[in-house]
Amino acid sequence: MKDFLRRLKYYGLGFGIGTIMVMALFDNKGCSWFPSNRVKDNLFSRMIVANASSFAEIKGQGFSKTQFLKTIQNGDVDFGKSKKQGLDKVYRIDYQTPSGKKQHCFMTMGDESFVSEVLFSTKKANQISPTNSDAELPGQILFFPKNEFLFYMDSSQIFQEKMKELGVPNDKKLNQFIRKYGQFSFAHSRLTLHPKPIHGLQFQTSNHSKESLEVQCIWFKDKIKVYNVMVTPKDF
């Protein structure tokens, strides 16, 4: 019995040391079974956007777009100060700026929304609405999920013919234009609608285009269906 208890004690000690080492080595490095990493994996399966004031805040903290995304991926999710329940969740991410200052942001995560919005707010997470649909200025798209054909056009022949007339002949070109020129249109989004929030995007078909295409989309089976388009003259 004494030998068994001694072996059990050594096993428990070894298991505990091993667990601590694994957590130290792999936390924030892709182990999806950590709750914090599961949340961040879910956030980075979406498009990440920032409105004009949030993007200015990111720049003001000394980040480039790439640096900020990497910092968020390595940041800590504060579950105690996040809104974890309901259809429209909001997570607080704690991180350090390039100057070493402690900061935090909030990231929205709607169950049927393909967008996570970065917000800087003094409010608590449960007081934050997962949308800035009344924002007049378009938002910056900070991150696209790695899917070459993330966007596709509605199968309606009338819609596809209209898109061809506007210079978007197929899904490949649609994806290229959105990734190169795309911005998030808060004015044409309704992210609190359920069961399917409406997302607005705007883009152009060339550097010299004199008009902008405003499309509305929904998330469908891990891809984004574009089903409506409007044309607006660009402001010069």
Task: Give yes or no for a contact between 141 and 72, defined as CB atoms under 8 angstroms apart.
Answer: no
DSSP secondary structure string for all residues of 177-235: HHHHH-EE-GGG-BTT-SSS-BEEEEE-SSTT-SEEEEEEEEEETTEEEEEEEEEEEPP
Average pLDDT over residues 18-30: 47
Express each pLDDT in 72-81 by its tens digit. 999 999 999 9
- How far is 229 from 167, CA to CA, in rounded Å? 12
- How far is 43 from 45, CA to CA, in rounded Å? 5
What's the DSSP call for residue 85? S
Closest CA to 92 of 58, 121, 66, 112: 121
Average pLDDT over residues 216-220: 95
- Give the mean pLDDT of the chain: 88
Domains plus CATH for the chain?
35-127 (3.30.2310), 145-233 (3.30.2310)
The model carries a pTM of 0.84
- Tokens matching residue 140: 């910056």
- How far is 215 from 72, CA to CA, in rounded Å? 29
Name the pLDDT band for 234 (thresholds 50, 70, 90).
Answer: confident
Element (H, E) at 14: helix 2-26
C-alpha distances in angstroms, 173 versus 23, 89, 181, 188?
A: 43, 33, 12, 22
* Residue 15: predicted pLDDT: 52
* Residue 173: predicted pLDDT: 98
Cis omega (within 30 of 0) for bond into 233: no
